[in-house]
Structure formats: C-alpha cells, structure tokens
Amino acid sequence: MKARIQHWSLWVMAWLLMGLPMVGHAELNIVISGGQESGVPIAVVPFSTTTNTDFASIIRADLARSGQFAPLSTDQMPGQPSAPEQVQFDQWRSGKAQYLVIGKVEQQGASYQATFYLLNVSNGQQMAGRVISAPISAERSIAHRIADIVFKQITGVRGAFDTKIAYVTETDGPMNKRRYTLEVADSDGANPQTVLSSTYPLMSPTWSPDGTKLAYVSFEGRRSGIWVQDLRTGQRYQLTKFPGINGAPSWSPKGNKIALTLSKFGSPNIYVVDLDTRALTQVTNDGSINTEAAWMPDNQTLVFTSDRSGSPQIFEQASGSRSAQRLTFGVSYAAGGAVSPDGKTLAMLAGGNGGYRVAVQSLSGGGNDLRYISNGGSEERPSFAPNGTMLIYASQAGGGSVLKVSPLAGAGSQTLRFASGQVRDPAWGPFQGTEQ
C-alpha cells in the first residue's frame, strides 16, 4: 500500500514538474519556409598589396567554383578595409555580404606574406585570422590556401582549392606531327607544368595518394603500357607491357596497388598489380569488356564498367570475390565510374537521349537517385576533388575540348582556361600536406 501511494505521489510530482512551466505560457512560434536558394554571399575585399597579383579575385573564383558561395563584386562593397579595425560593420550589415574576407600581402625577401581575416558581418566576430607565406613563385597558392580556410570555416568541409590537377593535352606540333603532353596545374588551371611530352599518345593519368607520382598510359614504342613517374625527380619506369591493351590505371587509396585493364588473354579484364611485389591478380574474368576500374575507400573493392549485361553499366566487385553487383540502372549507358572520397557517391558518364553527361548517384540508393551534374552533352569521364564537393571533366567544345569543374551541390560549371588544343583526361590530385 505504501508503495502504491509513493508511486502515486511520484506521478503527481512528475505532473507538477512537467505541467507547471506550461501553465499560462504561450510562446510565439514562427515558421520560415523556403527562403531563397543562393550561394553564401561573401565579400572578398581586394587585398592591400604591392604585388600585381589580384589575390582576392583568385579567392573569389575558387569560392564561386564550389557552387556554395556567391562572392560579391567589388562595386557591391561599401568599403575596402584591409584590417579588422577598419571595418565599418554597420555599413556592411546594410549590404548583402554575410561574411567578409580582408587582408594584405607583403613581400619578405623571396617570399610573400599574407595576413588575412574572415569576419562574420552580422555579429562582427572574427572567424579566422592567419598569416600565410609562400615563395613568390607560388604566390597563387597563398590565395588558394586562404580560400581553403574560408571554405572550411563556413562549410565545415576541408577546402580543396590548394590542390593540383593532372591532364593530357594534344596539339599540332612541328611538321604536322601530333604532340601530346602530360601536365600538372593548380586546381584552377593556372601554373601548368609539363611533366612529359611525347609524339605518342598519352592517356589516363592517375595520382598516387601522396601526390608525388603519376601513373599513366603511354603508347611509346607503338604499344600501350602503364608508366609510373615521380613528379619531383622526373624519373619514370614502365609498370606493365603485356600484349594487347594496357590501360585505365587507377591508384589504390593506400597507394600500394594499381588496378588496370589488360587484354592479354583476349577480352579486356580488370587486374590489380601489387606495387611492392609486382604480383598481378585478375579481378574480372569473362568474355565481355571490363575496364575503367576505380577504388572504393576500403582499398579492396573496385567499381568498373562492363557490357556484360548488354549496354555498358557500372559494377562493383570486391577483391577476391568472383561475383559483381550492378550499380547503375537508370540510364542505358553508364561508364567511367568514379567514387567520392567518402565512398558514398558514384560519379559517372551517363549516356542517353541527351548525349553523354556527367551524373552522380548515391552508392546506397540502388541507382534510383541519379542526377545530372553537367549539361553539355559531350562530356568525358569525371574525377572527384579530394573533398568530394566538385567534379572535373573534359567537355567537347568547338573543335577541341576543355576542362570544366562542376559543384555537386547547386548548378553551373566553371571552364578552366588553357592556351589551345585538346585538353582531356583530367585527374584531380590529393590534398597537399595536412589540413591547415
């Protein structure tokens, strides 16, 4: 009986505790729905500098390329402060910018030193304030690093602007001979450096995960082979020279393996080379075409293109497994698969009525959530930025082809500018160094 009374008392107490604060207290609840879809309005004020480089415009282009920011033009800025104490926040609050990037760049001997600040316009808080220095020859990297810090501070995702891209160019050389080069450039296409030049076709570069080497296909000697080249020393060696096709290399996430396509026994199949032992393991084994392997983050599972079901589709197969699962169902043609660094998204070249366009789907969605990223209709195999927020791909334009970058979120693409000729087979390099 006592227990029952206590039980009852507890209920009353609970009622009192829960009920009392509600009594006679009606709060105002307001629902905000929709809003305007827009990149984050951000003002990158021209940096105070004695150099000719427009650091702010490099940062603006980076942030805009991500699709998640809408940088303001300079005429939308109520002032051009370069230090926090110069900022008239009241003026900025009446404008559109939510965030403000200001700073200055000074020369210190053979290097530049940048001091910059990221400020929250609405509350005046300083979200970042850093000093960054770089050799004069790498002055643009200062801007990319600032863009990375801004991106990380606001989105929570590591920025991938201070990264490199590799790609192949094809131009008309002397005596009407075709000339092929393997190039490495900044993520915005600036500072291109020729890694290799050849009169034989070059194809399909792939980055080592530490960013120090490239593997690629070269047809030198009139036969295809996979080559590995050290970017610091320029030294290179031939990894494979099997009869038939030696193609589509893909460096594994841990760096110890390269997946590739060989046709040494007839039809093209996927193989894996262990870089330490040079042991070759066959992954697929059938009479259809199997190519364009790409690694899942587990360093074990591969996705690849196969026409075993009729039209080309993308499949997934674990190393050591003998069976593959089809991943793409929404389109009649799906090839050139690429896996996002987090392993959640599959990017591909999807073909159908609208030509060949870059598309993505979630790897867990059963192919039901395919969505197109590019809209040109004549694109080629995409490559993920190391933070998974952007894709780079070649796109046919006029007589040649150009490189384009599209954000996964939002719409639109930025075309990277190059001198001339055909530019194709882009591969986005890894993060450089540790996160800042």
Please select the residue that binds another protein; options are 136, 279, 397, 411, rule is CB under 8 A: 411
- What is the nearest approach in angstroms of another protein to the Cβ of residue 297? 20
The letter for the amino acid at 293 is A
Q: Which range, of 153-161, 199-207, 368-376, 419-427, touches another protein by CB under 8 A?
A: 153-161
| Region binding another protein by CB under 8 A among candidate stretches 2-10, 163-171, 182-190, 364-372 | 2-10
Cα distances (Å, whole numbers) of residue 67 to 170, 255, 413: 30, 31, 8
Cβ distance 302 to 294 under 8 Å?
yes
Binders of another protein among residues 168 to 227 (CB under 8 A) are none
- Here's the x/- map for another protein, 103-142, by CB under 8 A: it reads as -----------------xxxx-------------------
The only residue of 52, 108, 156, 310 in contact with another protein, by rule CB under 8 A: 156
Q: Using the rule CB under 8 A, which residue among 91, 409, 417, 436 binds another protein?
A: 409
Could you say whether residue 90 binds another protein (CB under 8 A)?
no
Binding flag, residue 41, another protein (CB under 8 A): yes
Q: Is 266 in the site for another protein (CB under 8 A)?
A: no
Q: Are 426 and 166 in contact (CB under 8 A)?
A: yes
Please report whether residue 35 would count as binding another protein according to CB under 8 A: yes
Which is nearer to another protein, 28 or 419 (by Cβ)?
28
Instruction: Please identify which residue in 34, 174, 266, 287 interacts with another protein, judged by CB under 8 A.
Output: 34
CB distance 423 to 205 below 8 Å: no
Distance, CA of 257 to CA of 253 (rounded, Å): 8
- Minimum CB distance to another protein, residue 221 (Å): 47
**What's the farthest any 2 CA atoms get from each other in the chain?**
107
- Which DSSP letter does residue 27 get? -
Q: Which of 38, 91, 126, 415 binds another protein (CB under 8 A)?
A: 38
Task: Check residue 419 for interaction with another protein (CB under 8 A).
Answer: no
Residue 285 interacting with another protein (CB under 8 A) = no
Write the DSSP assignment of 98-167 as a string of letters: SEEEEEEEEEETTEEEEEEEEEETTT--EEEEEEEEEEGGGHHHHHHHHHHHHHHHHHSS---SS-EEEE
Least separation in angstroms between residue 433's CB and another protein is: 23
- H-run or E-run covering 226: strand 225-230
* CA distance to 123, 317, 390, per residue, from 68 (Å): 21, 34, 11
Q: Least separation, in Å, of the C-beta of 336 and another protein?
A: 23
Closest distance to another protein from the beta carbon of 171 (Å): 36
If you ran DSSP here, which 8-state letter would residue 56 be given?
H
Contact in structure between 87 and 102 (CB atoms under 8 Å): yes
The CB density around residue 69, as the number of other CB atoms within 10 Å, is 26
157 touching another protein, by CB under 8 A? yes
Q: Which residues bind another protein (CB under 8 A)?
A: 1-2, 5-6, 8-9, 12-13, 15-16, 19-20, 23-25, 27-41, 67-68, 70, 93, 98, 120-123, 154-157, 407-411
